[in-house]
Every structure is written in structure tokens, then in C-alpha cells.
Structure 1
Amino acid sequence: SLFLLILKQIELDSGEFHLPSELVIAQVFQEITNQHLSAMDYTLSGDEALYTTLERLKDDHTKLDADEISELHQTMDQLDGYAAQSKAAKLLTGLGFTQTQFELPVSDFSGGWQMRLNLARALMCRSDLLLLDEPTNHLDLEAIFWLEDYLASYTGTLLLISHDRDFLNNSVNQIVNLSRQRAMLFNGNYASYEAQRREQLSLQQAGYEKQQKEIKHIQHFINRFKAKATKAKQAQSRIKALAKLEIIAPAHIDSAFQFSFTPPEHTPHTLIKIDDVTLGYQNNKVLANINHKFFITDRIGILGANGEGKSTFIKFIAGKLKALGGECEHHKQLKMAYFAQHQLEQLDANDHALGHMSKLNPLASEQKMRDHLGCFNFSNDKIEQKISTLSGGEKARLVLAALVYSKPNLLLLDEPTNHLDIDMRDALSIALQSYEGAMLLVSHDRHLINTVCDSFLLVKDKKVRVFDGSLDDYRTLLQTEPAAKHLKIQKNKNTVSRQDQRRLDAERRKKLRPLYSKLKKQEGLMEKLAIEKQAVENQLTDNSLYDANNKIQLKSLLAKQTKISKDISLAENTYFILLEEIETLEK
């Protein structure tokens, strides 16, 4: 609404609003009208005066006299027009377009890439005020890094709406908080705002509590003495003082979302083995020679520019795409949960949140499903509201609610934070940190990546390889390209003949076979002990066991519980020693 007011698309209900008439405002449009223009021309059209001049210069010069042509070239000089194509090319390249795409018509691009063109057009404008509403939603990490650097050199005033805390931290020096129909200005970036806001709320709550005590004391005096003639004057004085008192409101802290993942029922060590897999569409290879194993302890962030194949890779893992070649082996106890943006569109528009959840488990009570949805901030009204009327954020929360309910041991998350506000993003981050299964994450939210990922895979040049570094290292890498030889990618630099390689592989398999056999036995032992422990703990829930008459039986059960716990600890230690041996050999 604030942006619409600035753009004069809505009027004030009350009060005053002033905007200098000569102010040039740039905004990112949600639609594209000139679909026939090339990407380059569409970007150039963001500078209206320059684009008009360029178009006139393209006209037949026989229609223009010498003075008109001279005037147009003079205007080009004033607008720095001869460098315009270079500027537009830098904008398009920074936002991920290749040089071969510059001359393609806008209509050839998908919706997400058209939004990038709208952003390029807005940045091309020589503006005094730049309005950006969630500009990172359609960008990958590479484009976000570039946009941050670009905005750092922008000389006008930037007004930015974003749920990306890292982007806010790196792009703004003031925060306006719109809450409860009021606007409050805070100096500093988002991290500074959070600290100031916490302190402000703490002081406000302390002031409120102190004032409430004072009001209670005054009211007690009034109630006690207003009927007594000797004290009536003092009582009236306090009534007036109470009426003049500026009431401090209690601190309003936005309700925090909170949910957690139920531990998976099974946690096998190796979930997926991929051997020499090739992926693509109709024989068009997107990724080739993929070799990787996913373990229960993996928490992997998938890096790579848009179009490199990140979503293709995660679709294959999810079983939504068949390989063109190679093998992929899933553990029989693997249970995946997959979050992707297209799932929001696939929700039954005529159903409601409660109905959607009930389909996952028809035997579950309605109250249990209501409680589960409540963790995702679905009120009673929203729970029975048609899905077609829900916002993008509410649909995303519903898909997440269903995903959490399924108790997976492998989470596949493809841009899960799109449409989510900062509170929900924080809740997702906290829940994922305590999640006990494996996770693969594609996201442009750096805060989420940094808080939940332990390692990275880089999808680049039709390969999927381990990236041995942090997110900051990845940004540095992008800034130093095309020095691709400096990539921190795990490679085996020792080249061997195919015959020698087969011999080495055979020797390794020979050593691994007995270890895998021991590992399987150890898994069976751990499962057996877990069942025994659960049986003892179930017996210990019997209240009658704690009667004096059953003292001997209780003591026996407690001793058995202690022994089983020690056996489990010993079995787990043996299990992890075997794992280390196996992983060392596999490397």
C-alpha cells in the first residue's frame, strides 16, 4: 500500500503526503506488455528519454533534417547514450542472461526470467527513487550476489521490501517497521533493527507493567475514599490525573511460529547410491557421470546458477525424473519428502487445509490435524477456508505441514522459502537444525543455507561435484570467474588406466564386503536392543510397579534398562567405527 501511494495508484484516507514533482521513480512491473521487443531493447526502454532518442535515430534519416539529427546526437551525449548498450549488457549479464539471449524476444522467456527482465529495466532507469518489492524471489544466489553489489553503488534512494534477512543486512542502512497501523524508523541494517526492537519491546513492557501498578494504586485510592467527605477532594484529583495519564500499551510481540520434525522411524546409514547416472530430457543431456552416495547424516546445500540443472538433479533424487543412463539404488527403508514450488499449484483448489491433511491419514482425529496445522499458523477460520483463496505463503505452509507430518528420513527442499515471511523462515531454520534425517536443499536464502547445511554440491558444466568450501568461498569464486581452475572441487588428480582402476576397485570391494556384513549385523543388533529397551520402558509406565510390594520387580527392570542402555552405547560405538572404516576405504 505504501508503494502504491508513492506511485499515486491509491489516494490517502486522511493526512498529507508530499512527493517532489520532478522525482524520477523506478519500479519493477509485474507484467510485460512489449513482448515483441528483444531482451536488450526491453532493458534499454527502462530509460524512457534515452530509448525515445535511440528509436528516433533508427528512423529513416531522410525524414530528419540536419538540425534534428544534430539535436538527437547532442541528447545522446547528455544522456550518456553511447554507453547505454554496454550498461544494459552488464545488467543482463549480472542477472544471469547470456549474450546469445540479448536479442531473443521477451516472449521467449519463462515467467521467472521475464521478472528478471523487469528488474533489469527498472535498474536501467536513471532514477532518484528505486522501489523494489521482493526482488530476490526469482533470482538465484549468483544474481543476488550481483544485485547486492550493484545496489551498493546506487546513488538514489532505495525503498526495499524483502523477507531475505541477509539481503537486507547487505543492502539497507535503515528499517521501517510497519506494525499495528504504525510506522517506526530504525537506523542500521536488519540485524541492528532486531536488537533495537527487542530492547524497545523490553522497555515498553517494563513501562507498561510499572504504569499498571500505578493505575491500580490510584484506582484503589479512588474506590476507597471517593465516598468520604474528608477525602473527596483528593479522590477527584486522582480521577483527573488518571484521565490525563497517557496509557502505555503492552508490548506486542508477533506470535512466533514453531514446529518440529518427528524423528524418522528408520535411519539406515546409506540412503541412496548413484552410479554413473546421466540426466536430461528427450536425449538432451543436462547432467552426466553423476556418482554420489547420500548418508543419513548428510545436510547438503546444492549450489549452481539457474539453468545448470539443480532442480533436474533434485527431481531425479525424488523419483520424478528417470535417468537416461546409469544406476540408482535406494535403501528399502528410504522415506523421502519432497518440497517444490509446483506443488503449490497442484493443491486441490476446492479442498481446505484440514481436508488436505486428513487425506494423509484418514484415521487421525480431526483435533490432532487441527493441532498440527496450528503449528503452521493456521487459525480455525483458515483451516476450513478453500485452498483457492489462500495466499502463496499460506499454500507453502500447508505443503510444509504435510511434509513434516510424513516423518521422512530424507528431505528434498527446492526453494522452500519462496512466499514465506521472516518469522516462518526462522521457524523452518530452527526445525531443520534439529531434524534427525538427511537433507538436500536448493535455496537462495543464505541465512537458511548457513544455519542448516554442513556441506555443498556444485552443479556446473553438466557435472555434480562436491564443493569444498563455505558460501562465502562460493561468492568469492563467482567474483573471480572465469578462473574456474581455482574451484575448490574434490578431484582425484592421480590418473590411472582403466585396467588398473578395475583392479583397485575389485580390491576395495573385497575389503568392503566383510565390513558391510558386520555393519548389517550391527544394525540388526541395534534394532533388537532398541525394541528390548522400548519394551522395558513400556513396563516402567505401569504405575502399580511403584508400589512397595513390587520393589524387587522394579529394581530388576531398572537394572535391565541400564544394561540395555550400555549395550546400545557399545553397539553404536562399534557401528560408527565400522562406518569410519568403510568411508575411508570408499574414499
Structure 2
Amino acid sequence: MSLINVTNLTFAYEGSYDNIFENVSFQIDTDWKLGFTGRNGRGKTSFLNLLLGKYEYSGNISAHVSFEYFPFHVENKQSNTIEVINDIFPDYIHWKLMRELSLLKVSDDILYRSFDSLSNGEQTKVLLAALFIKDNSFLLIDEPTNHLDMTARKLVSDYLKTKSGYILVSHDRSFLDNCVDHTLSINKTNIEIQKGNFSAWWENKMRQDNFERAENEKLRRDIKRLSGSAKRTGNWSHEVEKTKNGTRNSGSKVDKGYIGHKAAKMMKRSKSIEQRQLSAIDEKSKLLKNIENSDSLEISQLDFHKNLLAELDHVSIYYGEKMVCEDISFTIEQGMRIALAGKNGSGKSSIIKLICSEDLNYTGNFMKDSQLKISYVSQDTSHLYGNLSDYAVNNGIDESLFKSILRKLDFSRVQLEKDISDFSGGQKKKVLIAKSLSENVHLHIWDEPLNFIDIISRMQIEELLLEYAPTILFVEHDREFCNNVATEIIDL
């Protein structure tokens, strides 16, 4: 066991006026299974890169371990997989590699296939195996769940549960809960570490947020009451002071000494109340700083003129002579929230493309009403660039509504002015979702919409779908999201 000490860390990207981190300090035990969470754009990957020594910063990071980052960069993907592993770790011990591949249920014959012929899930498992055969390293594992189907996610999560000595960035609640024992969170104003998995951290955060809201409301009422008391007491003191130069109703002279003493006493009381008011204001200012903005999202889906929107009847889809899915039958009716489930390569995206009117070769019967309007969110974000205003105009959506949704998904006003190509992966996916929520359609179709999106935003989207119950067909490997949202699961 050793410690990674972070002291007074301050960092901003070159040319930026905004600090990603500012005077943050904490310790990490290298034996921990550390889950790393925080909203998109808060600096999770930036912090991993700071540990790797990629950027200059002020403050101090001290560690007596080396760091290894996942995913590794693969220079030549046409090489055989065993050559890729050898490039990453030339001195690896073969039996250790075989052990890790066996734990990840990867057959050893893939070592002699070209790396680019492997599925995304197989590539992830191979690179994880290479990561864990390195000794005396603290591992930085950045979003390994992207492109893993639900079965593979469970397998990889169980695998990581048997390991220790890593930071894991993931936005999948079930995945994190299964394999971490501490949680590192980047909040709005600080970084903190707590013992326990994500759900334990979230429960503590909700408890703290609720306490601060109640305390904030109590102090607000106190400040209002004290403000009124201070004003009344000050007025009384002023009125009493004015009587020093007058006479009593009986005509006798007033006792100026007594009145002056009384006025001073009232003034002292007024100052005391003002001091208590300032103290309450100071206490109030310390609250609510880390409460996340997660305002409710809205969706206004168009009603369709009939209940049945589309139907697949014993549909099989082909690419050339290769069949990607066989004998698929289901209907899409108004109000349904359908999750397409199945391993990678089972044809989920192909079914979506067919429903979205792409010209695919298929057998069986497929029916879709010609008047049906569909909003589609793709897996791919590489086509996104330019400013958000032009993007809204080019896609025929209301700019103010579009940007309002992004603000609710934790975009700052400054972020709204940046080029989309500079956004993080999660922020780009939010652009696609905000566009989809801004469109006037009868059916939403989302293909892995939550890749790279932070957990709090996932919860917002989940609550939206439960509250408004739109008609939606989606592919998503986040187990908890699917279980909470779907009214029907089509397992391929």
C-alpha cells in the first residue's frame, strides 16, 4: 500500500480563463477500487492525464507508483492481436496473459487474428487483460463500458471486482456499484472521496443536499425576521432620541440622560440583531454550492392518428449474403417504450436503420405509416461541428428551446458559445439528445444515447421518459436505465 497525494492542485488548459481545478487536495490509497464520477466537462479525463504527466499544473502530485492508462492507443490495428499486446508490454509473461484472458472469457485463438477484426467488446477485453498483467502500476481505466453490451458489462464488472489498485471512470450505476469500494467525485466547487460504491455516495449526497436546502430555508426566514427586527429597533431608537429635545405631556422637562441611555440601549440591540443577520447570511453563503442543477426536462411528442406506428413480422436483415438478424417480430404502438436488447452484432442497429427508412435488404414483412415522423439519435457524433445556433437553424429546431435543454443538462453559458467539435464526448451526445427533444415527431428512436453521458444527466433523461411516457424505441446497455424505463424489452 502507498498513497497518491494531491496538494493544492490548480490547472487550466492553455488559453483558457477557467480553471478546471483550483487548490484541490486529497489522498488516494493505491489499494482502493476507486470509482470516479462527475458531470461531463468537469475534468475526469483531465485529472487522469495530469497523473500521467501530460500537462503542466501548479500544486503537487506525489506518488510512488507508475500509472497505466486504459484504453491504450493501438498504432497498427491490422497487426495480429498478440503483436498489439507485445507493443504495449514487450516483457509480458505469457501465462499471465492467458490467465487474464480466461477470466474475461476470451478464447486464446483471437491472439492470432488481426486486432481490427475483433469486435469492440473483444478489443476492450484484450486491452484490459494487457493492462492487468503489468505489475507495480496504478491503473487509470477511462470508460471501459462504451461499446460493451449488457452481458459483457457484467462480465467486465465482475472481473474488476476481483482486482484492486485502480481509478475507474464510468457512468453506468450498476457497473460502478458492483466493483468499486471508494468513490471520488468532482463536484461543482470541490473534489471529495468517500468510502463505498456509487449508490452509497449518491445516498449521502442526497442526504447532505436535503439538509442544506432545509438549513438554507431556515436561514432565509431568520434573515428576513432579523432584518425586520433590526429596522424596527433602529426606528424606535431614532424616535426616542428625538424626544430628548422635547417635553413631557405634563409640561415638565424630559430626562435627557435617561432617554439617551434608553436610545443607546436600543441602538446596541439593533447592532446585535444586524450582527446576527450578517452571521446568518455568512452561514447561508456556505450552503448549496455543490447541489447539482438537474431541472426537469420536457418533451412534447405529436399524437399520431392511429395507435399502430410500425410493425415487423418475421423480419430477417442481410448485408450481402450475411444475415445479421433473423425472424424478428414486434409492433410499435403509441406510449410504448421499447428497449432492443442483445449482444453486440445481434442486429439492433440494423433494425433501427430499417425503421428509419434506410434501404436495407430484408425478408419478411415490415410496415410503417408513411406519415410517421421520427427523431433519430445515432451512436456517432463525429459529424458534429460549428456553433450551436447554426446547428439549430440547419436542423429546423427552436434555438431557445434547444439551448434551454442543454442548460438543464449542465451546459454553462460560456459552453453554449463554443464550437461543438471542442465538446467532450458526453457533451456531444447531449447535443444530439437536446436536438431530438426539440423536434416535433411521433416517435423517438435512440441508438445507445447514453454513451459518455454522466450519471446525473442519465437520471434526468430517465425521469423525463417516465414522466411524459413518449413513444420511444431505444438501444441502451445501461442495465438500470433499461429496467427503469422500458415497458417492453425485445431480446435479440
Q: TM-score, normalised by structure 1?
A: 0.61
Contact 1:261 1:407 in 2 (8 A): no
- Cα distance, 1:189 vs. partner? 1.8
Is 1:410 paired with 2:447?
no
Aligned to 1:568: none
1-structure distance, mates of 2:358, 2:134: 42
Q: TM-score, normalised by structure 2?
A: 0.72
Contact 1:116 1:139 in 2 (8 A): no
- Equivalent position SS for 1:129: strand
Aligned to 2:487: 454
Match among 75, 78, 90 for residue 33 of structure 1: 75
1-structure distance, mates of 2:337, 2:444: 9
- Cα distance, 1:134 vs. partner? 1.6
Aligned to 2:199: 191
Change in Cα spacing, 1:291 to 1:138, as seen in structure 2 (3 Å) is: closer
Q: Which has the higher helix share?
A: 1
Structure 1, residues 410-434: CA drift from partner, whole Å, max 9, x if none? 3222100012112221121112223
1:36-435 map, 5 Å:
37-43=79-85, 48=89, 51-52=90-91, 81=93, 83-90=95-102, 93-94=104-105, 99-109=108-118, 114-127=123-136, 129-154=138-163, 156-207=164-215, 213=222, 220=230, 247=283, 249-252=286-289, 253-266=291-304, 268-342=306-380, 344-347=381-384, 349-350=385-386, 352-361=387-396, 367=400, 371=404, 374-377=407-410, 381-435=414-468
- Cα distance, 1:359 vs. partner? 3.8
Aligned to 1:6: 51
Greater shift after overlay, 5-14 or 131-140? 5-14
Unpaired runs of 5+ residues, structure 2, are: 1-45, 242-259
Q: Which has the higher strand share?
A: 2
Q: Report the aligned-residue RMSD.
A: 3.8
The size of the alignment, in residue pairs, is 417
1:505-516 map, 5 Å:
none
Contact 2:98 2:108 in 1 (8 A): no
- Cα distance, 1:267 vs. partner? 5.3
2-structure distance, mates of 1:403, 1:44: 44
1:501-580 map, 5 Å:
none
Change in Cα spacing, 1:290 to 1:235, as seen in structure 2 (3 Å) is: closer
Change in Cα spacing, 1:98 to 1:193, as seen in structure 2 (3 Å) is: same
Change in Cα spacing, 1:85 to 1:118, as seen in structure 2 (3 Å) is: closer
Change in Cα spacing, 1:123 to 1:241, as seen in structure 2 (3 Å) is: same
Change in Cα spacing, 1:327 to 1:10, as seen in structure 2 (3 Å) is: same
Structure 1, residues 336-375: CA drift from partner, whole Å, max 9, x if none? 2221122x2234x23x32333234448x6x6555556555
Paired residue type of 2:330:
H
Q: Which has the larger radius of gyration?
A: 1
- Cα distance, 1:280 vs. partner? 1.8
2-structure distance, mates of 1:183, 1:220: 39
Contact 1:264 1:436 in 2 (8 A): no
- Cα distance, 1:146 vs. partner? 0.6
Change in Cα spacing, 1:339 to 1:234, as seen in structure 2 (3 Å) is: closer
- Equivalent position SS for 2:186: strand
Change in Cα spacing, 1:164 to 1:322, as seen in structure 2 (3 Å) is: same
2-structure distance, mates of 1:295, 1:17: 56
Contact 2:160 2:179 in 1 (8 A): yes
Contact 2:446 2:475 in 1 (8 A): yes
Structure 1, residues 502-547: CA drift from partner, whole Å, max 9, x if none? xxxxxxxxxxxxxxxxxxxxxxxxxxxxxxxxxxxxxxxxxxxxxx
Taking only the aligned residue pairs, the percentage that are identical comes to 23
- Equivalent position SS for 1:425: helix
Contact 1:408 1:437 in 2 (8 A): no
Paired residue type of 1:40:
I
2-structure distance, mates of 1:25, 1:371: 40
Paired residue type of 1:265:
D
Q: Which has the higher contact order (CA 8 A, sep 6+)?
A: 2
Contact 1:409 1:436 in 2 (8 A): no
Contact 2:226 2:274 in 1 (8 A): no
